[in-house]
Structure 1
Amino acid sequence: MVLEEFLSEWRNSSDRVLVHTSGSTGAPKPMWPEKEKMHNSARITCDFLGLQPGDTALLCMNLKYIGAKMVVVRSIERRLRLLSVEPSGHPMAALLQGQSVTETDFHDPAALPHPCPQGQKIPAPTFAAMVPLQVYNTLQVPEEAALLRQIRHLIIGGGAIDDQLAAALRDFPHAVWSTYGMTETLSHIALRRLNGSEASEWYQPFPSVKVSLDKDDCLMINAPLVHEGTLKTNDRAEIVPGKGFRILGRKDNVIVSGGIKIQIEEVEHALKPYLSAPFIITRRKDVKFGEAEILLTEATDTDAVTAICRRVLPKYWIPREVRHIDHIPMTETGKPKRKV
């Protein structure tokens, strides 16, 4: 989908638009959220960040998914100037080169995109939303990283932010946020700072959002402005009054092997400092243990990976199999596909 198509859908007579889930836990599913609730979500974020009419926003993600659609809706709601580039791993490159960038000034409710002058460097936007892979790639190129640092409000969502990426963002001069949300909540319902003195591992829900835990310690969300009724998630969480909440991992990412519960995200976090090649933890059925933990890695020396696992992991976290794979399977939004 291109921006003109989404604007046509947004401006038609229907009270709903089509979005797709990310596909990280199965095949992407279509949803038809209400435009009014998307508008509410946009207003909440714009108010929190203090975005003002005439500020600039960057659209650099796939408009098939809610994260990109909400960048457009925020621009409409707050009358921002929307800069659009083709979705890629290096969104800042297009601004630096002044190539294939369009601008839509939503001071005019009927505005359509028009091309920016070719070959002319475009200043950093006031606001941008990216996935972790885009941020990581951008930081590898000094000129792109310098422009990224000039963004006044950078929100990062659609995937986990590991310790290495968080450390690289810690000294950014302007606000950098990790988001918590999902397609069902029309993008994020909570944010946590990644940089400066306010950096925290605890997500702070917006004032209109209430969170609680069910009997399985999964997060329950009550966000009436963006979702009808209480939403039960599969995210195991911890809530501390006055701090907020933090995510421990997904309920469906718990491997039960021989009666021992293994949280996939905790194993990956423990191994991340020691494994240089991309990897993920997944599972397979096992006659003896019920489920067996599997490590998929792009490294060809699986014996070396196994040795590292035995050295740094608790006994019951050690994978029962380490398997080489040419490329770690990922969704379009950069999340791992764990099924093998």
Structure 2
Amino acid sequence: AAVPAGARGLVVFTSGTTGAPKPVELTPRMLFASATASASVLGWRDGDRWLCPLPVAHVGGLSVITRCVIARATAVIDDLDGFERHRATLGSIVPAQLPALCDRDAPPAVRAVLVGGAAAPERLLARARARGWPLLRTYGMTEACSQVATERAPGAGLRPLPGIDVRIASDGRIEVSGPTVAGGRLRTGDLGRWTADGGLVVLGRADDVIVTGGENVHPALVEDALRSHPAIADACAFGLPDERWGQIVGAAIVAPAGVDDADLAEHLGRSLPAFARPRRVALVDALPLTAAGKADRRAAARLSTRPFPRG
């Protein structure tokens, strides 16, 4: 039956990564459009089971349930062991769960695993894919009923879902419109750009940009450079107040076996300009995370840091 235009849906709160969580009303029509767009990319097969090791109070977990209900497929609420325990064929995870996949081979039944909610470290993606995990990066948000863009094949680059219009505004903000968005065009808090072949690159939150001495630094670029060092398992970059520069770059670093400062500084000097290199770092066992499994940048910025050479 058709969904009535005025039908009320449900209220989901955003993850509150950069501010207080805010309520977002998602109508049945929006949820149906999102599930349909997702299915047009992944498709449904007989016997599909979608594993959801995510909180269902957030849109990432909730969308797994709605997709399965609409498709009359099986949703499995379990941890990552559910891939083998329940012979799941599909899954949705956040980047914080990638290390666990790197330590196990993918069961043969798994055909696609969506990775979203935050930027996924390329090295972890590569390690997990080497173990047979068919990982597809996604980009989305609560206000758009979860997915906005996804990879069609591992490493192929983000492409907007069918029916979803994505534009980059003159100030670099990502704007989204389509049947999964209420009230016309949604101006997101994210910055992005297009690749030469039409892929979407998400640079990070506009509010997270570090302004140091008049230069803009995207934390994601700093994090990518840090993670490319073989001793660094994960990293989170942030701005710290500074009387001279306004802000300086700080970073929380996960290096299980330790890391030599001089070696890391030399490594960063190959890919980052001097102003973008961390001046202070905190060595931690694990990054602080939000309830949704995203790196908590505000909590990381409150960690005790020490000076770090810029090379």
Tell me the TM-score normalized by structure 1: 0.76
**Aligned pair partner of 1:84 in 74, 77, 80:** 77
Distance change >3 Å, CA 172–CA 189, structure 1 → 2: farther
- AA aligned to 1:146 is A
> In the alignment, which residue of structure 1 is the partner of 2:253?
297
Secondary structure in structure 2 of the residue aligned to 1:36: helix
Q: Structure 1's 297 and 153: CA in aligned 2 closer, same or farther, altered over 3 A?
A: closer
SS at match of 2:38: helix
Confirm or deny that 1:250 pairs with 2:197. Answer: no
Using CA pairs under 8 Å that are at least 6 residues apart, name the structure with larger relative contact order, 1 or 2: 2
| 1:237, distance to aligned residue in structure 2 (A) | 1.3
2:68 corresponds to:
75
Shift of 1:84: 2.3
The residue that corresponds to 2:278 in the other structure is 319
Please report how far the alpha carbon of residue 322 of structure 1 lies from its aligned counterpart in structure 2 after TM superposition: 2.3
Tell me how large the CA RMSD over aligned residues is: 2.8
In the alignment, which residue of structure 2 is the partner of 1:31?
A: 24
Equivalent of 1:220 in 169, 175, 182: 175
Larger Rg: 1
| CA distance in 2: counterparts of 1:307 and 1:126, whole angstroms | 42
Matched AA of 2:175? M
The answer for the alignment partner of 1:283 in structure 2 is 239
Matched with 1:60 is 53
Q: CA deviation at 1:282?
A: 1.0
Structure 1 residue runs of 5 or longer lacking an equivalent are 1-12, 97-120
After superposition, where does 1:105-144 map in structure 2 within 5 Å? 121-122=85-86, 124-140=87-103, 142=104
Give, in whole Å, the separation in 2 of the partners of 1:249 and 1:95. Answer: 30
Q: Quote the Cα distance in structure 2 between the aligned partners of 1:303 and 1:54.
A: 47
CA contact (8 A) 1:293 1:319 kept: yes
Shift of 1:171: 5.1
User: Matches of 1:171 and 1:326 in 2, distance apart?
Assistant: 25
Matched-pair contact (CA < 8 Å) for 1:24–1:335: yes
Q: CA deviation at 1:30?
A: 2.6
Shift of 1:205: 0.7
Q: Structure 1, residues 264-323: CA drift from partner, whole Å, max 9, x if none?
A: 111111111224254321112222111121122356999933662355233222222223
Using the TM superposition, give the Cα deviation of residue 135 of structure 1 relative to its aligned residue in structure 2, in angstroms: 3.4
Provide Cα deviations, 1:187-228, integer angstroms capped at 9, x if missing partner.
102111453xxx32x311122111211121111112234433
Q: Residue 49 of structure 1 is aligned with which of 16, 32, 42?
A: 42
CA distance in structure 1 between the partners assigned to 2:41 and 2:152 by the alignment: 13
